[in-house]
């Protein structure tokens, strides 16, 4: 029978089929854990006298609450310190592998899994975190779960689930120079809306997707949740296999060959039927930036702050009015004229090595704009080490940026990295909700290239807006 990629992975994991509208019971191959959503789940196990069913399929890392400075000192903030200490105690008690602050494999949970080769095609991957959709870039069925579900998976390695609907997102054509995966996904969300993906698994397909690197594919799948979707997926191909090969947990020898043979079958059949389908032309895309307080409120950088009076739908108009008020923006202002105080480069959306290389390429030989604070926060300690091995840290420091330790950092400001009230940031992260990066802080979501150019000019900009880095000497 023909099926979509999501259906194939689902079917391969059904332990018990639900009848009469009851959910299916699915087997979970990989359970990622962080300090924010796990304490009550472990407490539940403890109260019920249960252990963790498959500690070998469970891995934890510290990310949301970790400081990015002075990581060799005790965590100053008491709440953050307690959360981290609780995770450490739980990991020890339940026999779970944990990558703690200071460990080379510590970092944002969605950066660590792929980096270690734990995330592979055809797996079911869960984590008590909405951006678990990131792992779908490998052709895994990966989604965020709530704390009670975390407890269920810890106890049984299974999860009762009702099948999702499927939506194909076809991105045809070729991206123009300066336009990236981040612009694709911001354009997709602007098109289908922050509720457009509700109840669906999105499968990204088409020429533009096939031509993306694994890290760029992760950026796209990461933000599926911002369209309201349960998960995002991309069928695995040679790019995927190449990325996984040789990583610490990748299969080897005959196991590798068998795995790749299976992985090749993980694609939607030509006659598979999706519940919905959306098509976008990559040739039409430009760098995208958000102007509002949800990730769907985005426009090409060449545009202007929208005027709510032009919005016909009443609830969208009200939302725009409220967003503009919070964001302190005047309708009609060219987006390129919006000045920022901070540029944040990092997060599970754009905190990987390719993102840092892209930023370094733009800022090399330049100085940041005065009055702009630039934070570069690698997604994991390994990304940091890799960047330093390539000399990128030096490029960032010469530019005037701060080079920090790994973690979620200013993506959501659970650690000291926060905007102050009224401060405005260009951020490579995924959410621009009110107060997301600090109380009263204002966020514009952008790609790493736009973040870098914005750090140079001080207003929202693309690399094509910059004068050449080193002017030839006049004679």
Ligand X SMILES: CC(C)[C@H](C(=O)O)[C@@H](O)C(=O)O
Binding site for ligand SF4 (CB under 6 A): 63-64, 108, 129, 131, 347-348, 408, 411-412, 429-430
| Contact predicate 141/6, CB 8 Å | yes
Q: Is 108 in the site for ligand X (CB under 6 A)?
A: no
Which region among 95-103, 123-131, 175-183, 362-370 touches ligand X (by CB under 6 A)? 123-131
Q: Is 227 in the site for ligand X (CB under 6 A)?
A: no
Q: Report DSSP letters for 289-330, one per residue.
A: EE-SSSTT-EEETTSBPPPGGG--SHHHHHHHHHHHHHHT--
Q: Least distance to ligand SF4 from the beta carbon of 130, Å?
A: 7
Rounded (to 5) percent helix, strand, coil in the chain: 40, 15, 45
135 binds, among ligand X, ligand SF4, none (CB under 5 to 8 A by kind): none
Q: Is 412 in the site for ligand X (CB under 6 A)?
A: yes
296 binds, among ligand SF4, ligand X, none (CB under 5 to 8 A by kind): none
108 binds, among ligand SF4, ligand X, none (CB under 5 to 8 A by kind): ligand SF4
CA 334 distance to own-chain centroid: 28
For ligand X, the closer of residues 33 and 201 by Cβ is 33
| Contact predicate 200/165, CB 8 Å | yes
Q: Which two tokens stand for residue 264?
A: 């090749």
* Kind and range of the H or E run holding 125: strand 124-127
203 binds, among ligand X, ligand SF4, none (CB under 5 to 8 A by kind): none
Q: Least distance to ligand X from the beta carbon of 463, Å?
A: 27
Q: Least distance to ligand X from the beta carbon of 131, Å?
A: 5
Phi, psi angle pair for 127, to nearest 5°:
-160, 150
Q: How many residues bind ligand X (CB under 6 A)?
A: 8
For ligand X, the closer of residues 142 and 171 by Cβ is 142
Q: Which of residues 7-46 bind ligand X (CB under 6 A)?
A: 36-37
221 annotated to a ligand binding site: no
| Contact predicate 466/457, CB 8 Å | yes
Q: Which two tokens stand for residue 350?
A: 């754009």
Q: Least distance to ligand SF4 from the beta carbon of 413, Å?
A: 9
Q: Which two tokens stand for residue 36?
A: 């924010």
Among 13, 131, 230, 352, binds ligand X (CB under 6 A): 131
Beta bridge partners of 290: 298
Question: Mapped to the 3 state alphabet, what secondary structure does 69-82 carry?
Answer: CCCCCCCCCHHHHH
Q: Is 64 in the site for ligand X (CB under 6 A)?
A: yes
| Contact predicate 206/234, CB 8 Å | no
Query: Residue 359 and residue 386: Cα distance in Å, rounded?
Result: 15
| Contact predicate 447/428, CB 8 Å | yes
Q: Is 113 in the site for ligand X (CB under 6 A)?
A: no
DSSP 46: H
Among 24, 35, 62, 129, binds ligand X (CB under 6 A): 129
Q: Residues 142-171: x/- map of binding to ligand X (CB under 6 A)?
A: --x---------------------------
Give, in order, the Cα–Cα distances in Å from 442 to each of 229, 320, 338.
Answer: 25, 14, 12
Q: Least distance to ligand SF4 from the beta carbon of 347, Å?
A: 4
For ligand SF4, the closer of residues 430 and 432 by Cβ is 430
CA 313 distance to own-chain centroid: 30
Q: Where are the beta strands (DSSP E) in 361-466?
A: 373-376, 402-403, 424-427, 442-445
457 binds, among ligand SF4, ligand X, none (CB under 5 to 8 A by kind): none
Which region among 126-134, 181-189, 275-283, 369-377 touches ligand X (by CB under 6 A)? 126-134
Query: Residue 400 and residue 402: Cα distance in Å, rounded?
Result: 7
**Dihedral sign computed on CA atoms, order 408, 414, 420, 424:** positive
Q: Least distance to ligand X from the beta carbon of 415, Å?
A: 12
Q: Least distance to ligand SF4 from the beta carbon of 85, Å?
A: 19
Measured in residues, the chain has a length of 475
Q: Least distance to ligand X from the beta carbon of 32, Å?
A: 12
Q: Least distance to ligand SF4 from the beta carbon of 82, Å?
A: 18
37 binds, among ligand SF4, ligand X, none (CB under 5 to 8 A by kind): ligand X
Which region among 23-31, 128-136, 298-306, 447-455 touches ligand X (by CB under 6 A)? 128-136
- Enumerate binding residues for ligand X (CB under 6 A): 36-37, 64, 129-131, 144, 412
Q: Which residues are annotated as a binding site for [4Fe-4S] cluster?
A: 348, 408, 411
């Amino acid at each position: 029978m023909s099926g979509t990629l999501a259906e194939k992975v689902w079917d391969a994991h059904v332990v018990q089929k639900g009848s009469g509208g009851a959910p299916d019971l699915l087997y979970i191959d990989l359970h990622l854990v962080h300090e924010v959503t796990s304490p009550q789940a472990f407490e539940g196990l403890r109260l019920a006298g249960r252990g963790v069913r498959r500690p070998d399929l469970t891995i934890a890392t510290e990310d949301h609450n970790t400081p990015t400075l002075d990581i060799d000192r005790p965590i100053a903030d008491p709440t953050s310190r307690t959360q981290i200490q609780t995770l450490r105690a739980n990991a020890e008690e339940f026999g779970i592998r944990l990558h703690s602050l200071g460990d080379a494999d510590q970092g944002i949970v969605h950066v660590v899994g792929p980096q270690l080769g734990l995330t592979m095609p055809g797996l079911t991957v869960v984590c008590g975190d909405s951006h678990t959709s990131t792992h779908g870039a490998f052709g895994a069925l990966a989604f965020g779960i709530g704390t009670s579900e975390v407890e269920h998976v810890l106890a049984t390695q299974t999860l009762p689930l009702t099948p999702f609907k499927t939506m194909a997102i076809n991105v045809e054509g070729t991206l123009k120079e300066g336009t990236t995966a981040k612009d694709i996904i911001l354009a997709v969300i602007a098109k289908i809306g922050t509720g457009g993906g509700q109840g669906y698994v999105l499968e990204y397909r088409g020429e533009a997707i096939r031509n993306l690197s694994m890290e760029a594919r992760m950026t796209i799948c990461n933000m599926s949740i911002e369209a309201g979707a349960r998960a995002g997926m991309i069928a695995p191909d040679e790019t995927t296999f190449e990325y996984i090969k040789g990583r610490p947990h990748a299969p080897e020898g005959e196991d590798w060959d068998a795995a790749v043979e299976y992985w090749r079958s993980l694609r939607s059949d030509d006659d598979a039927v999706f519940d919905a389908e959306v098509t976008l032309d990559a040739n039409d895309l430009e760098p995208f930036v958000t102007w509002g307080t949800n990730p769907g409120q985005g426009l090409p950088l060449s545009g202007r702050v929208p005027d709510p009076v032009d919005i016909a739908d009443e609830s969208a108009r009200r939302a725009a009015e409220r967003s503009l008020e919070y964001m302190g923006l005047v309708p009609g202002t060219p987006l390129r004229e919006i000045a920022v105080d901070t540029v944040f480069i990092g997060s599970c959306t754009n905190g990987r090595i390719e993102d840092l290389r892209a930023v370094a390429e733009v800022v090399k030989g330049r100085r940041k704009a005065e009055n702009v604070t630039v934070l570069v926060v690698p997604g994991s300690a390994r990304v940091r080490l890799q960047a330093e091995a390539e000399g990128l840290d030096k490029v960032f420091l010469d530019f005037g940026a701060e080079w920090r330790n790994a973690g979620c950092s200013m993506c959501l400001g659970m650690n000291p990295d926060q905007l102050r009230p009224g401060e405005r940031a260009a951020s490579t992260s995924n959410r621009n909700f009110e107060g997301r990066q600090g109380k009263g802080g204002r966020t514009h979501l952008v790609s790493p290239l736009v973040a870098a150019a914005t750090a140079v000019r001080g207003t929202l900009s693309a690399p094509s807006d910059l004068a050449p880095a080193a002017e030839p000497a006049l004679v």
